[in-house]
Amino acid sequence: MNPPPAPDHSAAGTSRTPRARRSLTLQLTLIVAAIVAMLLGVLLLDGNRYWREIVGEQIDAQLSAVAESRRNMVLAHLAQLKQRAEMMAEHGQFRGLLNNLIMGQPDTINRNYSQGRLDEMADGKRMFSAMLADAKGRVLLASKGTDVLGDVSSDPAFTKGMSGIYVGPPCSVGDHSEVVLAAPVRDYSRPVKIAGVLMMTVDVSPLAAALRDTTGLGQTGEVLLGVREAGQMRFLFPPRHRHDVLLFPLTDTPAMAAATNGRDFLQPTRDYRGEPVLAAGRPIGYGGWGLVAKMDEAEAHAPILGALRHALWLGAAIMLVGLAAAWMLARRFSRPISQLAAAAESVARGELDVAVPVASQTEVGVLAACFNEMTAALRARTAERETAELQLAEAQRQLQQHAGNLENTVRERTEKLREIVEELEAFSYSIAHDMRAPLRAMTGFSDILLTDHAGQLDETGRRYLQHIAMAARRMDTLIVDILNYSKVVRGELEMKPVNVEQLIREITTTYPALGADRADITVASPLPRVLANGAALTQVVSNLLGNAVKFVAPGVRPYVCVRAEKDAEGVRLWFEDNGIGIAKDAQARLFHIFTRLHGQEEYEGTGIGLAIVRKAAERMGGSVGLESEEGRGSQFWIRLKEADDS
Amino acid sequence: MSEHPILLVEDDKNDVFFFQRAMEEAAFACPLRVARDGGEAIDYLSGTGAFADRVQFPLPCLVLLDLNLPRRHGLEVLQWIRGNAPDPAVPVIVLTSSTSDRDVREAYRLGANSYLSKPSGAGNLVALVRALDAYWFHHHRFTPAAGG
């Protein structure tokens, strides 16, 4: 099993710690900044509302006071005008003239006096013209320079004047303002009867000036006087901001609309320009006139905006100071932590000789102290480990030295042993080889004697010669078998996949004793390929087949069946024969060298064949065995590894 | 039939005798020269010492070479032939009682044309000589320089 991959401590440590250090200071600063900003915001909003309320009330009171006082002033002016008109109309000349005229009597004296009086009036202060009309509206007399003569019966001033004193709406002419003033002239003998009307044009410039006075109304404020006229609003004096226009839609002048409707008005609204204003409206109580004192909201609230601006600057300053303080505070908190983090980083890199200053008894201070204790412990542990590693290395070195010595010894001994074995092999090989030469001579000469000189020997001599030749041949077979056995025992066996069926075919065609004319050898195809050494397996198979066909009862045709059987350990090749079988007690020693169960007279043999089989099988990593019963044939088997490529 | 002889390199007198007798039995008429050891074989082939007379000891058309020889081993002789002999291409047939795999491999590696085991018994040797005669002197063609 693979161990899980080790986490890369160093990389993680260097990348994580500085970021954490930055964000700690930043976070603390941001938190403090957010709190300060929230406080400032709340204070500013609340202050704004408070000041708007205070200022609004103050302005309202001021406007109301102005409106009230100006209304009183207008009323006073009106009263004064009325009184003056009444006084004028009381003159006896006017009444006498009108009386005489009504009576149908010419009255030149009164006429002249009246004319003089009118001229005098028109010359007087604050009056431009004067005229006298009778009850039917005919103008009787007019001041000098006044060319309005004739019928004034349809003039509103006349009709109103017939029933009482009338002050017309002011109007501006050039640089002054004037009003038409009408007063009834009572009958001389019966005062309840109206004999005519005295009509005057009077200068009201002082009133206009007094209304124009903007004291207490700032740069934008004004006092307006207005009256409704045919569904529109007419300002009686030109407004401050629009000198040329007097008529406005009612909807553009809500404050004046209320005042001319007889209602007091006090609230923020819009004026004739559409500007937001604070306005106070009052009905004059005469002729449907209304008065409005107003001021632009922008100007009214200007002090608040100034105060707010002031507060904002102040807030920004407080904010800055707060931020600086928060940053310093955060640094003061995070510096020991940063030092700790840096120290931890060093420890992670393996530098254990670090200590962080323990500045305080706070939690961070305690942490720093703990950290120092930890690094000290780590240092101690590391030192211990290094010592142990040194000891271990020394021990390993010694062990290696011993192992090296041992290895050298083994190598030397092995070399020596190999030399000895080689010498022995060469020795035995040459002995075996040299032994074959005299045997060959024995065989050869016996043959020659028997073929070329048979006539010179008697029957017994020839039989002896045959015994010599046979013995020599047996000895040669023995030597060849021993050589084969030693070859199997010591030779290098190269293992390759071997086709067993093909190998058996080759063997049966090579050995005359295995030919189809002398034995029945069958193969249960297909046989699996096995991992073996071709030469050694040839030796094994030929020995087993040779035994199978050799050890049969006299007169029996040998029969061998070769089959394969796969099991967990590999392949078992079975060789079943119809031979004489092997007794149970003999089976155990059967594979030992020089083991023979029969005399040479019965079956020839050297007792080496099965030893070669066993040795070869073992050298190829396999094993051999048999199942047999005397008289029932034998089943020899050899187990080998199956070739991978099959 | 070639005037060039067969050179038998064999130290065992019995084997020489058996071979000569087998040639007679097989009616194999090629002349036979014998070298008794490795040194003699090289002397014969290089025409030195006792073998300087090429009329009496002409170059062989075929060499039958035993391996276990006194003075110089058969494989040494084989190596010398392939490297230094006047006719390095002369066919060399190893005829030996050695069955060692190593000997077989080395012989072929050094350029032996064939490797035969010495048979046991006179009859088997006659059969071998007949086979040699049939193969080398009836079917085989020697190189013109050597075989003529």
- What is A128-179 written as a DSSP string? EEEEEEETTSBEEEE-TT----SB-TT-HHHHHHHHS-EEPPPEEETTEEEE
List the structure tokens of A343: 């120290």
pLDDT of residue A478: 83
pLDDT of residue B145: 56
pLDDT of residue A149: 63
Its pTM surpasses 0.80: no
pLDDT band with cut points at 50, 70 and 90 for residue B140: confident
Give ipTM to 2 decimals: 0.78
Measured CA to CA, the distance from residue A277 to residue A288 in angstroms comes to: 23
Instruction: Report in angstroms the alpha-carbon separations of A567 from A280, A503, A540, A571, B134.
Output: 120, 22, 21, 6, 52
- Residue A11 burial (C-beta neighbours within 10 Å; 0-12, 13-18, 19+): exposed
Instruction: Report in angstroms the alpha-carbon separations of A569 from A533, A620, A622.
Output: 18, 13, 9
Q: Is the dihedral of CA A371, A373, A376, A380 positive or negative?
A: negative
A201-219 core/surface letters (b: 16 or more CB in 10 A; e: else): bbbbbebbeebeebeebee
% of chain A at pLDDT higher than 70: 96
- What residues of chain A lie within 8 A of the CB of B14, using their CB? 437, 440-441, 444-445
- Could you tell me where the beta strands, DSSP code E, fall in A499-586? 520-523, 530-532, 559-567, 570-577
CB nearest to A448's CB, from B97, B120, B122: B122
pLDDT band with cut points at 50, 70 and 90 for residue A23: low
pLDDT tens per residue across span A571-623? 999 999 999 988 888 888 888 888 888 877 778 888 888 999 998 999 899 99
pLDDT band with cut points at 50, 70 and 90 for residue A105: confident
A396-419 core/surface letters (b: 16 or more CB in 10 A; e: else): eeeeeeeeeeeeeeeeeeeeeeee
Measured CA to CA, the distance from residue A209 to residue A226 in angstroms comes to: 16
Q: What is the DSSP string of A340-368?
A: HHHHHHHHHHT----------SSHHHHHH
Instruction: Using the predicted structure, report yes or no on whether residue A392 has a pLDDT greater than 90.
Output: yes
- What residues of chain A lie within 8 A of the CB of B120, using their CB? 436, 439-440, 443-444, 473, 476
Instruction: Using the predicted structure, report yes or no on whether residue A193 has a pLDDT greater than 60.
Output: yes
Instruction: Using the predicted structure, report yes or no on whether residue A17 has a pLDDT greater than 80.
Output: no
CB contact under 8 A, A447 and B15: no
pLDDT of residue A1: 46
pLDDT tens per residue across span A245-298? 888 888 888 888 888 888 888 888 888 888 888 888 989 888 888 999 888 888
If contacts are CB pairs under 8 Å, which of residues 457-476 in chain A contact chain B? 469, 473, 476
How many CB pairs below 8 A link A and B? 48
pLDDT of residue A11: 43
CB contact under 8 A, B68 and A430: yes
* Residue pair B110/B78 in contact by the 8 Å Cβ criterion: yes
Higher pLDDT, residue A601 or B102: B102
- Residue B100 burial (C-beta neighbours within 10 Å; 0-12, 13-18, 19+): middle
pLDDT tens per residue across span B115-139? 999 988 888 899 999 999 999 888 8
Q: What is the DSSP string of A193-241?
A: SEEEEEEEEEE-HHHHHHHH--TTSTTT-EEEEEEEETTEEEESS--SS
Closest CA to A96 of A181, A195, A197: A195
State the angle between helix axes of A534-550 and A500-510 in degrees (0 to 180), rounded to the nearest 10.
60
Contacts (Cβ under 8 Å, ≥6 apart) of B92 = B63, B65, B78, B81, B111, B112, B113
* Residue pair A120/A114 in contact by the 8 Å Cβ criterion: no
pLDDT of residue A12: 42
List the structure tokens of B123: 């009859």
- Distance between A448 CA and the closest CA of chain B, angstroms: 7
Q: What is the DSSP-derived secondary structure letter of residue A495?
A: -
pLDDT tens per residue across span A301-352? 887 888 888 888 888 888 888 888 888 887 777 777 778 888 888 888 878 7
Instruction: Using the predicted structure, report yes or no on whether residue A205 has a pLDDT greater than 60.
Output: yes
Measured CA to CA, the distance from residue A44 to residue A172 in angstroms comes to: 48
Interface check A310 vs B, CB under 8 A: no
If contacts are CB pairs under 8 Å, which of residues 475-514 in chain A contact chain B? 476, 480, 483, 487, 491
pLDDT band with cut points at 50, 70 and 90 for residue A148: low
Measured CA to CA, the distance from residue A481 to residue A613 in angstroms comes to: 12
Q: What is the DSSP string of A563-583?
A: EEEEETTEEEEEEEE-S----
pLDDT of residue A436: 82
- What residues of chain A lie within 8 A of the CB of B97, using their CB? 433, 436-437, 440
**Which residue on chain A is closest to B123 by alpha carbon?**
A447
Instruction: Using the predicted structure, report yes or no on whether residue B148 has a pLDDT greater than 60.
Output: no
Average pLDDT over residues B89-112: 91
